[in-house]
Structure 1
């Protein structure tokens, strides 16, 4: 599987975000505590927004812990919305076009999990993608195809509904092919202004997902913590696993739910597939 983080708030230095926390994402690429695999070394990606709506992307097939270019970029880049992902392949090739996050116009998408028996389902799922979107698929992963199914089913107008419809479609096609539990997912998606994060699996045993608690309250609890003092009160993190053991810093996102983060507001709602 994989590990990812989604940050929004005041502009943060990418080195501070990706390298400096006690259990940073780069450290998790080598020593994940809550992932299916300890090592997530099959490439990585970072997506960030600056002064234009379309986000930048940096992908590499190197392990995140061993990429000098990531360190150079991170030291000199700041952003108020960052998606970062470390990959452990579930069977598709290790190549840049298979690294998350995936981008379409102003949208970013990243996924931890898999479509079970993907090769059985791939043809039927691919044929469900809008023909106008199909030529834009660059890689071979189930995660990117999942993104384009959500785009086909209305992601740009209704992200929660589109993801629910895409999940419903994947489960329906999976069960037609005899796959008992077609989907395992935590997903993050953003348009650059709002982030939606989903936790769901067909078997009801989803991969881990956490959100940060109120930064202002954390500052009061931990007045000497350097990273906390540099963040704005509306800073929010959604992560596959906590970036440290700081008391009171993290809340688990419930099973079969999704989180909406917009500015300082972070709301959780139930999630269920919509049959298609």
Structure 2
């Protein structure tokens, strides 16, 4: 199990408080989630800048050094508590493919038993990019496969296309790993971005949203179609304040490139999805 953080803003902003100085910052949470960390920040360059560490964030000076320097309109961060895969850099989140970065909080149920079936869902061209041994990285490449089935993934993708690919990933993986009336289910809190679109899902773990202001003080998520100044997504509220709102179980939320808020349910996005038949998946990188 891990903790994830996503930040999307209309203007470049510092994330040092969320990562280091808030009452429940990722640095504080890393006393329990101690098996590595990663931060991805999007700037003027074509690709995000990604930094990883293999030790606890709270005792790694590089975590605070990187955090203090990040000022960006899009940031993804992660602290890891290893459940699948050794504690090593290649297994640290965020995982990256081109402009896409991906983090996961949760565990795929009985991954060792089901890993071959999950890998079979991945386009062979994409499968060659897998570097580590985690369930999380394989879920990322299933997502990329589903996304590439409809969109050239080296180009901007509509937010609904990203959400649909994420929901299809959840449905495909859970169909392999989960059994009726058997607990626990696969936990799949995912967060993915290309620096413009940002989408997150909740399944069997907590997930919270803040808009960085007073909009969420009523305990309600923003209205669909609301243009935000900021969207912050986190596994836990970072300071205990009233403006953190829980995301519903089996919900997918996100913002498009214009920071317009969207919300779906996984059944809504993937309810009529039919698993692909064996054969090549269209991949445009």
TM over 0.5, yes or no? yes
Are the equivalent residues in 1 in contact too, given 2:212–2:232 (CA < 8 A)? no
| Residues 178-210 of structure 1: per-residue CA shift (max 9 Å, x gap) | 97665211110111101101012xxxxx21001
| TM-score w.r.t. length of structure 2 | 0.80
Query: Which residue among 158, 162, 171 is the counterpart of 1:168?
Result: 171
- Whether 2:21 is the aligned partner of 1:26: answer no
Larger mean CA deviation between 148-157 and 62-71 belongs to 148-157
- Tell me what 2:283 maps to: none
How big is the shift at 1:15?
A: 2.4
- Tell me what 1:259 maps to: 253
CA distance in 2, matches of 1:100, 1:212: 22
Query: Which residue among 100, 103, 108 is the counterpart of 1:110?
Result: 103
- Whether 2:157 is the aligned partner of 1:159: answer no
| Residues 11-32 of structure 1: per-residue CA shift (max 9 Å, x gap) | 22242331121211111112xx
| Residues 114-156 of structure 1: per-residue CA shift (max 9 Å, x gap) | 1100000011211221111111101000000000011111264
Report the secondary structure of 1:255's partner residue. Answer: coil
CA distance in 1, matches of 2:259, 2:213: 10
Report the secondary structure of 2:133's partner residue. Answer: coil
1:1-276 maps to which residues of 2 (within 5 A)? 1-9=1-9, 10-30=11-31, 39-154=32-147, 156=153, 157=157, 158-174=161-177, 183-200=186-203, 206-213=204-211, 215=213, 234-247=229-242, 249-262=243-256, 263-272=258-267, 273=270, 274-276=273-275
CA distance in 2, matches of 1:112, 1:246: 22
Kindly tell me: are residues 175 and 4 of structure 1, through their superposed partners in 2, closer, same or farther at Cα, counting changes over 3 Å?
Answer: closer
| TM-score w.r.t. length of structure 1 | 0.83
Aligned length: 248
How big is the shift at 1:171?
A: 2.4
Structure 2, unpaired ranges of 5+: 218-227, 276-285
Are the equivalent residues in 1 in contact too, given 2:40–2:75 (CA < 8 A)? yes
How big is the shift at 1:163?
A: 1.7
CA distance in 2, matches of 1:140, 1:190: 22
| Residues 64-105 of structure 1: per-residue CA shift (max 9 Å, x gap) | 001111222222231111000000011310011111111110
